[in-house]
Amino acid sequence: MTVEVEPLPEATSGRHLEELLDQALGRLESARPFAKASYQGAVLDVARRLAALPGGVEALYQRIGRLEAAGIFAGSDWAHPETLQPILAANTLWYGDKQTAALEYLSEIRFLAVAGGDLLSTELTAEQAQHFLSQVLALNLNVLFGAATEAQRVRQSMPEAVVRNLYVYLAERIGYENILDRLIEEIWRILAQRPIQVDGVKAMIGQIAACMFNPEVDLGAAGRGADRLISALYGPTLGCREDPGLGVYAERLASMDANALAQEAGGFARAMYDTGLVSPYHPVFLRHIVERNEELLPQAFGLSSTGKDALLCYQGLVRSLIREAVHPETSQAVYGLALLLERGILYSPPIAPALWGQIALPLSTGNESVLTSVHGTAHPPRVFLLAGLLCVLGQPFGIGQGNNPTCQTARALSMWAYNDPDYLMQMLVWAARDEEVVMHFEGQALSSKAIAADTARLPPLDVDPVSLVLVPHLDRIYMEMGRRCADRGQDPHIWINPEFHGWWVGRGCRIAVDVASGKLSDYPDFVREFLAVYHPLYNGNRPLIHPQPAGIAVTDSQGRFVGWHAIAITRVALDQDGGMRVFFFNPNNDSGQDWGQGVRVSTHGRGERYGESSLPVEEFASRLYLFHFDTLEPRSPQAVPAELVTSIVERGRQSWGEKR
């Protein structure tokens, strides 16, 4: 059944609405779980009306803990706040239906309560909530400063004043003077990890630019340091520094002499490597010189001697890749192609033929539809897929899992792009052309097409094009492998990881937890074995040759257990201060996290390569619960100092292992 809400007069007082909200909330609290949906509408209707009155946001803030506990978000996407996306949240308040907009309104108040420590959440840390709200505010700076767009005014689900009330309330609690400064700092922190998906970052920079150059908006001293970000996107060179538009810039290029073109090439390369962002003007420049001034390509890509040699050896292929995949709408492919050349992987015999094959690859109707729905119709779907492939091959540690809950598939794509790129391209051919991927598990072929459809999910739309096409197939196969191991009484990753990821994964596997009981099992021996396998001081200074899959127990900033997560250990090495660190790939889109007990994951400044995370080996080991090793390699666990093992074990037991 549904509960009908009597229409309320617009002039109803705030006090009266608060009483009505408390009454509706009481009914929701008393409802059984299966009946919650019948009472949510009444609560949302009153909450939406209350939000329009002075003091309404504060009244909702005071009740947000009760609202969440009562089940206002139950049965909706908002029940899982850790999966919500700021760019979607920003649009929902304007373009969703009234009930959806009210849910988003309350959800953002919930994030503020978590960020301020007034509400404890098992799904969110205070830092994550703060990060989320900073991005939401960034994407709505125009509203915050009183300048809603025409589209927002015409299509609004809530009155503009109601939305602005919320954002002003959020900004006042966070601090006006820090919003832009914190946001700019956050953007640089994210860019230091060089993610492939930067659409959200570019949107935030666009909003910052609009506010900074709006004479009606007074930002005071806020926004310092934004110039490099804005110029990297909208004016990286002398020829386009005032953002003249792509058409005007193309006309200017036609009249530039050789010296001016060389200056443009250097300016584009500097901006690209400085930020990891590619201006839409950069593809216009590349497409111009590839036809007239090819000798400037190395300079425009910012190539070292390695990249220059690869470019000269495979000039025809690079020329075709620029013509086919590099456009203003796919500008990040420039960075991917430059890094691909720098990696030197074109010298591996299968890579160049595979790329030629990708250029001519026909896509299935289903994949064309999915790619078009995400990336639009500015170019054929195959263009976006080819551009995405260049990014993945150039930035193997820039792959993110997006909203997809299966982190193992993102990890696999990264490992293949890094270690076995021709295998990745073959998988992509199967998925893109045939809508089928075949892998083998213990001698039996597993077809993604043959696996029951109920094991599949909707494609994760917030990922790179390669993941968009491949991940649904890989998820099916991964879950089928898990189903076949479900009755073995041990963690299924013992068998899945070597079969799923590749031959280089060690067949030996140690797990810190007894699967049946969930309790710690031989934990000191587990830690000692890990150090004996991976720590250069105790494994005979043997380097890690291939990235190895591992499992970590993620904790929040208070050291409380959050969940299990798949990562890949890439290397163990000294940092610049002589400390031994574990460097690893984390596919969760933002690897800089506070895991409590002083364990803060570093993403730059400690010897990390772009996309890597790192921790001191002791801190990393304290969050590790599963690792692989080569059973044939000699190891000496007895060489590991007992006091080192003890300190790691205590740190682990006092955090994620506290109740185990």
Instruction: Quickly state the pLDDT bin for 89 (edges 50, 70, 90).
Output: confident
What is the per-residue pLDDT across 484-495, written as a single tens digit (0 to 9) for each?
A: 999 998 999 999
Instruction: Quickly state the pLDDT bin for 9 (edges 50, 70, 90).
Output: very low
Residues 41 and 131 in one domain: yes
Residues 532 and 431 in one domain: no
Q: Which domain holds residue 138?
A: 14-174
pLDDT of 212 above 60: yes
Residues 436 and 579 in one domain: no
User: Listing from the earlier edge strand, what are the strands of the sheet with 580-585?
Assistant: 508-511, 624-629, 548-555, 561-574, 580-585, 612-616
One-letter amino acid at 471 equals V
Q: Over the chain, what is the mean pLDDT?
A: 89
97, 279, 478, 625 from 498: Cα distances, Å: 47, 40, 12, 17
**Selection from 429, 300, 416 nearest residue 361 by Cα:** 429
Residue 69 lies in a domain: yes
pLDDT of 90 above 70: no
Q: Give the single-character DSSP code of 525.
A: H
Q: What is the pLDDT of residue 127?
A: 85
Residues 20 and 74 in one domain: yes
Domain end marker among 116, 139, 174: 174
Residue 220 lies in a domain: no
Contact between 478 and 495 under an 8 Å Cβ cutoff? The reply is no
Q: What angle do CA 28, 161, 65 make, to 5 degrees?
A: 30
Q: What is the pLDDT of residue 136?
A: 86
Instruction: Quickly state the pLDDT bin for 151 (edges 50, 70, 90).
Output: very low
Phi-psi label, residue 408: left if phi above 0, alpha if psi -120 to 50, beta otherwise: alpha
Residues 480 and 517 in one domain: no
Residues 430 and 481 in one domain: yes
Query: 238 vs 122, which has greater pLDDT?
Result: 238
Please state the rounded mean pLDDT for residues 112-118. 92
Q: What is the pLDDT of residue 217?
A: 62
Partnered with residue 614 across adjacent β-strands are: 583, 602
Neighbouring CB atoms inside 10 A of 134's CB total 23
Residue 377 lies in a domain: no
Contact between 416 and 440 under an 8 Å Cβ cutoff? The reply is no
Q: What is the pLDDT of residue 222?
A: 63
pLDDT of 165 above 60: yes
Give the distance from CA 125 to its chain's centroid.
Answer: 17
CA–CA gap between residue 59 and residue 88 (Å, rounded): 25
What is the per-residue pLDDT across 49-69, written as a single tens digit (0 to 9) for each?
A: 898 888 899 999 999 999 999
> What are the DSSP calls for 532-566, one per residue?
HHH-TTTTTSPPP-S-EEEEEEEE-TT--EEEEEE
Please state the rounded mean pLDDT for residues 414-418. 97
pLDDT of 502 above 90: yes
pLDDT of 328 above 80: yes
Q: What is the pLDDT of residue 6?
A: 41
Q: What is the pLDDT of residue 94?
A: 67
What is the per-residue pLDDT across 623-637, written as a single tens digit (0 to 9) for each?
A: 999 999 999 999 899
Which residue carries 């830690």 as its tokens? 527
Please state the rounded mean pLDDT for residues 554-583. 91
Contact between 385 and 363 under an 8 Å Cβ cutoff? The reply is yes
**Reduced to 3 states, what is the DSSP secondary structure of residue 582?**
strand
Partnered with residue 520 across adjacent β-strands are: 513
Please state the rounded mean pLDDT for residues 575-599. 88
Q: Count how many domains the chain has.
A: 3
| Residues ≥6 apart with Cβ < 8 Å to 604 | 192, 193
Query: 145 vs 309, which has greater pLDDT?
Result: 309
Residue 621 lies in a domain: yes
Residues 559 and 453 in one domain: no
Domain end marker among 141, 174, 207: 174
Q: Maximum CA pair distance of the chain? A: 79
**Reduced to 3 states, what is the DSSP secondary structure of residue 510?**
strand
pLDDT of 213 above 80: no
Residues 517 and 475 in one domain: no
- Considering the chain, what percentage of its residues have pLDDT values greater than 90? 64
Please state the rounded mean pLDDT for residues 481-505. 93
Lowest mean pLDDT of 322-331, 440-449, 554-563, 646-655, name the range. 554-563
Q: What is the pLDDT of residue 95?
A: 66
Please state the rounded mean pLDDT for residues 81-97. 77
Residue 350 lies in a domain: no
Query: Which segments of 377-515 does DSSP mark as H helices, in order?
Result: 381-394, 407-419, 421-429, 465-485, 493-501
Instruction: Quickly state the pLDDT bin for 154 (edges 50, 70, 90).
Output: very low
**Selection from 571, 192, 267 nearest residue 419 by Cα:** 571
Residues 414 and 537 in one domain: no
Residues 430 and 523 in one domain: no
Q: What is the pLDDT of residue 218?
A: 62
Sign (positive or negative) of CA dihedral 537, 539, 545, 548? negative
Residue 283 lies in a domain: no
Residues 461 and 606 in one domain: no
Q: Has this prediction a pTM greater than 0.85? A: no
Residue 66 lies in a domain: yes
Residue 113 lies in a domain: yes
Query: 453 vs 337, which has greater pLDDT?
Result: 337
Please state the rounded mean pLDDT for residues 251-262. 96
Q: What is the pLDDT of residue 583?
A: 97
| Residues ≥6 apart with Cβ < 8 Å to 366 | 435
Domain end marker among 485, 517, 552: 485
Q: What angle do CA 263, 266, 268 make, to 5 degrees?
A: 110
CA–CA gap between residue 583 and residue 603 (Å, rounded): 9
| Residues ≥6 apart with Cβ < 8 Å to 162 | 48, 51, 52
Residues 555 and 456 in one domain: no
